[in-house]
């Protein structure tokens, strides 16, 4: 099974569907087009699909000239849910993973999409979840829904989790410049998923399973959240004590070990960093651990 898909990936003949074309999915879809793949940019929001078709980009980092070039090539196709998209050789899920009104993970977009995919899944496809989520999601939520198709992950199709890493606002660091972590959700999936990510990233870091890859993403984002909160709080204290926080940080940053520089700012926002601690705390509670710190 893997020889066919590996061949299609290596020769760039694989068709890739990016499902969920928001801040993450749209730049990713264009990165893949640039890497030589035919890309279907799939979104449930008809206005976004119409905007793409009319060459009106709506997220940071996607410029009109490049979008026009991609559309004109015929190998970048914006679309609503379509059977053809679900049948693509590679399907990447870049769906929202917000919290509900009780601060509980809301995976409804992922579940709905998985059900749609399961109806069309075929042998030899690679499905990768890129959304940020708690450890266990791919194995316990995504895999069982996809396997309702009658196909088995690792035997009939490949399944992986590869957390998206994105540095919005950073001109110098684009998606294709950032190493990616990949964990497999079924035998033989790692080889195929890693081969795919190697076509457009500088380094693929293989981890043993999807739970570990999901944990990596939580670790990265919660590390960031904690350190931003810490430096902002210390700034308030230092201000009252007549200490220049920036001078203190610069001096501390000369320590060659055990310190990482974070600068005070307006706090954190966006899709991931404020949400992820709740994902981990919720999951921890399920397995009987109360998080005091997170």
Ligand X SMILES: NC(=O)c1ccc[n+]([C@@H]2O[C@H](COP(=O)([O-])OP(=O)(O)OC[C@H]3O[C@@H](n4cnc5c(N)ncnc54)[C@H](O)[C@@H]3O)[C@@H](O)[C@H]2O)c1
- The string of DSSP letters for 134-145 reads -TTHIIIIIHHH
For residue 80, the minimal CB distance to ligand X (Å) is 9
Name the catalytic one among 21, 55, 272, 291: 272
For residue 58, the minimal CB distance to ligand X (Å) is 9
Residues within window 199-238 making contact with ligand X, judged by CB under 6 A: none
41 DSSP assignment: E
- Burial annotation 165-178 (CB, 10 A radius, 16+ → b, else e): bbeeeeeeeebbee
Candidates 5, 107, 175, 272: give the one binding ligand X (CB under 6 A): 272
**Which region among 68-76, 88-96, 143-151, 173-181 touches ligand X (by CB under 6 A)?**
88-96
Tokens for 140, please give them: 């316990």
Burial class (CB in 10 A: 0-12, 13-18, 19+), 133: buried
Strands 158-161 and 180-184: antiparallel
Task: Based on the residue annotation, tell me whether 21 is a catalytic residue of this protein.
Answer: no
Candidates 33, 37, 157, 166: give the one binding ligand X (CB under 6 A): 166
Decide if residue 197 touches ligand X (CB under 6 A). no
Candidates 88, 125, 132, 138: give the one binding ligand X (CB under 6 A): 132
Look at the chain and count its residues: 294
Candidates 15, 31, 88, 131: give the one binding ligand X (CB under 6 A): 131
153 DSSP assignment: B
Segment (H or E) for 207: strand 204-207
Q: Which residue is nearest to ligand X (CB)?
A: 22
**Which region among 22-30, 69-77, 139-147, 188-196 touches ligand X (by CB under 6 A)?**
22-30
Candidates 38, 143, 164, 283: give the one binding ligand X (CB under 6 A): 164
For residue 241, the minimal CB distance to ligand X (Å) is 35
Beta strands in 54-132 (DSSP E): 76-79, 90-93, 126-129
For residue 113, the minimal CB distance to ligand X (Å) is 5
Residue with smaller CB distance to ligand X, 163 or 186: 163
Q: How many CB atoms lie within 10 A of CB 257?
A: 4
Are the CB atoms for 181 and 216 separated by under 8 Å? yes
Decide if residue 271 touches ligand X (CB under 6 A). yes
Residue with smaller CB distance to ligand X, 4 or 203: 203
Tokens for 165, please give them: 């890493």
Candidates 1, 2, 12, 22: give the one binding ligand X (CB under 6 A): 22
Torsion over CA: 218, 224, 227, 230 (sign): negative
Query: Cα separation of 268 and 234, whole Å?
Result: 16
**Which region among 37-45, 144-152, 236-244, 280-288 touches ligand X (by CB under 6 A)?**
37-45
Are the CB atoms for 112 and 122 separated by under 8 Å? no
* Main-chain dihedrals φ then ψ at residue 20, nearest 5 degrees: 100, 90
Residue with smaller CB distance to ligand X, 126 or 175: 175
Decide if residue 145 touches ligand X (CB under 6 A). no
Which positions touch ligand X (CB under 6 A)?
19-25, 43-45, 48, 94-97, 109, 112-113, 131-132, 164, 166, 168, 270-272
Provide the annotated active-site residues.
Answer: 272
């Amino acid at each position: 099974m893997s020889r066919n898909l590996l061949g299609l990936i290596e020769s760039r003949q694989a068709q890739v569907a990016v499902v969920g074309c928001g801040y993450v999915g749209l730049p990713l879809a264009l990165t893949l087009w640039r890497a030589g793949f035919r890309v279907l940019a799939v979104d449930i929001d008809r206005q976004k699909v119409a905007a793409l078709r009319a060459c009106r980009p709506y997220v940071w980092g996607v410029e009109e000239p490049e979008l026009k070039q991609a559309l004109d090539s015929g190998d970048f196709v914006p679309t609503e849910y379509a059977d053809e998209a679900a049948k693509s050789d590679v399907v990447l899920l870049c769906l929202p993973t917000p919290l509900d009104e009780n601060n509980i993970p809301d995976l409804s977009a992922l579940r709905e999409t998985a059900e749609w995919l399961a109806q069309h899944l075929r042998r030899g496809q690679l499905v990768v979840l890129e959304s940020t989520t708690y450890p266990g999601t791919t194995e316990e939520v995504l895999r069982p829904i996809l396997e309702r198709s009658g196909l088995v992950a690792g035997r009939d199709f490949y399944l992986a989790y590869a957390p998206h890493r994105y540095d919005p606002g950073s001109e110098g660091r684009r998606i294709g410049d950032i190493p990616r972590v990949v964990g497999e959700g079924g035998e033989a999936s790692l080889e195929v998923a890693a081969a795919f990510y190697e076509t457009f990233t500088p380094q693929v870091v293989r981890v043993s399973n999807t739970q570990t890859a999901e944990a990596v993403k939580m670790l990265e984002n919660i590390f960031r959240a904690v350190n931003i909160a810490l430096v902002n709080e210390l700034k308030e204290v230092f201000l009252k004590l007549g200490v220049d926080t920036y001078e203190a940080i610069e001096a501390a940053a000369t320590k060659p070990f055990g310190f990482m520089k974070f600068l005070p700012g307006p706090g954190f926002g966006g899709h991931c960093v404020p949400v992820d601690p709740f994902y981990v705390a919720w999951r921890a509670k399920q397995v009987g651990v109360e998080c005091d710190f997170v």
